[in-house]
Chains A and B, each alone.
Chain A
Amino acid sequence: MALMTFILGLLVAGFGWVVNILRKNTKYSITWLGWAGIVLSFMVLLFAIAWSWSCLLENSPRAAGVGLLMFGGITVIIGAITRIVIIRGIPTSKKNHTDGVSQSA
């Protein structure tokens, strides 16, 4: 259990590092929704790892496997939706029609 907590702590620290790199290097403008999705996806991943590890410690391998499948699957789904939100952006109601507009008076 102590080892599990330590590993989860390392993952959190590593996540902070990755977020820092992502922030500086991405070509996309990540909105608050994108960041929320990234954080939520990571938290569910942590939960999946903690759940499965705890089930293995109590000698319930089936519960561990089903937990990893279920919560890991949720992680992937949230991650995929977040990726789409980041790449495509949030749909807006008004579009800027400056393209091709003549500047002549």
Chain B
Amino acid sequence: MAKEEKSIPDEPATKVNRRQFLKLGASTGIAMAAATAALEGGALVDPKQAYAGVIKTHDEIPYEIPADHKRYNQRNHMFGRARSGDPEVGKMAEHFLSHRFNGYDGVESPGYTVLDGAAARASFALDWYVNGENGSGNSNTGLYAWRPKLIDFLFRWGDPDRNIHSPGVKSPEEGTMAVKRMAKYFGAHSVGIAPYDERWIYTETFNGEAQKFTPPDFGFEPKHAIVMTIPMEYKGMSCAPTFLGSAEVGRAYNMCGVVAFSLSIFIKDLGYHAVAIGSDTSISIPQAIQAGLGELGRMGLLVTPDLGPSVRICKVFTDMPLNHDKPISFGVTEFCNSCKKCAELCPSQAISYDAQTTVGPSKISSASGVKKWYINPEKCWSCWGDDNVRSCCGACIAACPYTKPEGWHHTLVRSITGTPGLSPIMKNMDDLFGYGKLYNEQAATDWWKE
């Protein structure tokens, strides 16, 4: 009798039995656990690490600065000229002040409503009423007072000559770690330390306490400039040049005062001298470049690796022992050579389309000498009061392809932006993907939803 062979019916390969399913699940789980342990919580491809590999450091500022570079006098910049009684600039100031944030003019498009105007005015309030409008260069007032008068009974704060904690740090390394940590704790996005370089200090600054232009006098000799960037949110700056873009500017100016003042008190508590500086007393951008915070963009602003030009800058000058950071580059100059998007979209066409040069277009206000892109400051400010702006503008910041919200895909794109030959393509891609638009009504409408 023939044995009946037990035959196993053929199973279609598309059907999975219990054994195969358990095998697949167990092997996937083990693989995931092993991968997670190996990566130690990081990503397989970390865009931030890829981007960091693109950033180069330099021993000196990577710009051509003449040996006989002349220091700038704050009387010559647009706000300084307005304060000095320059008639041409005075008219621009009147034009701007009479229209600034005025939603009552009857134009009710998103970003230009009465609500939007009130938001902008309120955002600037702290800077105006406490710091005397430091945003326009007023020094030695409010949180930026060179010798603030503080309450005496609490641990003798603010007076290093009587400070019981002096000296507060054991080494420049400890000091550097401490000020960077505290700067970020108070709200700075990034912080760098540069030597106190007289080349960037104004020969005269508008002294808010004295109500006249005077040479800076802090009562001590600073050795270092701690330079900090304060972020301006993408949500706000994407509304530029409407009132809501300016609201973001005002909010950042307020934060500048808080961060710089708080850090200066921290340093004084440790027994050293320190003074908080905002948009006054020195040219912020070369100090920020020297401190390793970014590069100079075509529009004349600091372009940072993470936030592009969407930052404000504040400083603390001190004699505390600190180590210095080095200037960096990450492809901005190469990109700006071909991009020119800020120049195309500038409402007043004040940004140069040309190559870098050493002579600026304004005989009075341009700080000529350094080889860079120069904007036309008269053209820039003259449009701030125009009907299509009526604000602090910021169009160049909104237009810049480096201004992006935080995201892995933007970090990845930035890491290849400086690649030779890719810059024109990246600019066109930025346009194609719909970034960098001005008068973004959807952004202005969505601003109120959060």
**Chain A: residues with CB nearer than 8 A to chain B?**
9, 13, 16-17, 21, 24-25, 50-51, 54-55, 57-60, 62-63, 66-67
Contact = CB atoms under 8 A, between A and B. Distances in A.
A25 B13 CA distance: 7
B409 A13 contact: no
Contact of A54 (B13, B32, B408, B432): B408
Nearest to B16: A17
Nearest to A22: B13
A59 B440 CA distance: 13
A51 B24 CA distance: 29
B308 to A, nearest CB: 15
Contacts of A50: 409
Contacts of B405: 58
A59 B13 contact: no
Interface in B362-416: 405, 407-409
21 contacts: A13-B28, A16-B24, A16-B28, A17-B24, A25-B13, A25-B14, A50-B409, A51-B409, A54-B407, A54-B408, A55-B409, A55-B433, A57-B407, A58-B405, A60-B433, A60-B434, A60-B435, A62-B434, A63-B434, A63-B435, A67-B433
Contacts of B433: 55, 60, 62-63, 66-67
A43 to B, nearest CB: 11
B407 A66 contact: no
A5 to B, nearest CB: 10
Given A13-B28, A16-B24, A54-B408, 10 more contacts: A9-B32, A17-B24, A51-B409, A54-B409, A55-B433, A60-B433, A60-B435, A62-B433, A63-B435, A66-B433
Nearest to A5: B43
Query: Majority SS of interface residues in chain A?
Result: helix
A66 B13 contact: no
Contacts, number: 33
Interface string B179-191: 0000000000000
Interface residues of B, number: 14
Contacts of A13: 28
B432 A66 contact: yes
A66 B24 contact: no
A59 B409 contact: no
Interface in B83-98: none
Interface in B6-41: 13-14, 24, 28, 32
7 residue pairs, one from A and one from B, having the closest CB atoms? A62-B434, A63-B433, A58-B405, A24-B13, A66-B433, A25-B13, A54-B409
Contacts of B354: none
A31 B142 CA distance: 74
B90 to A, nearest CB: 42
Contacts of A67: 433
A21 to B, nearest CB: 6
Nearest to B21: A17
Contacts of A57: 407
Contact of A66 (B14, B409, B434, B446): B434
Given A17-B24, A66-B433, A66-B434, A59 B408 contact: no
A58 B446 contact: no
Interface string B436-450: 000000000010000
B428 to A, nearest CB: 12
Contacts of A51: 409
A13 B31 CA distance: 11
Contacts of B432: 66
A24 B14 CA distance: 10
Nearest to B435: A63
Nearest to B406: A58
Contact of B446 (A9, A16, A25, A59): A59
B103 to A, nearest CB: 24
A59 to B, nearest CB: 6
Nearest to A9: B32
Contacts of A63: 433-435
B47 to A, nearest CB: 11
A13 B28 CA distance: 7
Nearest to B437: A62
A63 B32 CA distance: 31
B445 to A, nearest CB: 11
A60 to B, nearest CB: 7
Contacts of A60: 433-435
B14 A21 contact: yes
A67 B435 CA distance: 13
A26 to B, nearest CB: 10
B402 to A, nearest CB: 16
A17 B432 CA distance: 37
A17 B435 CA distance: 39
A53 to B, nearest CB: 10
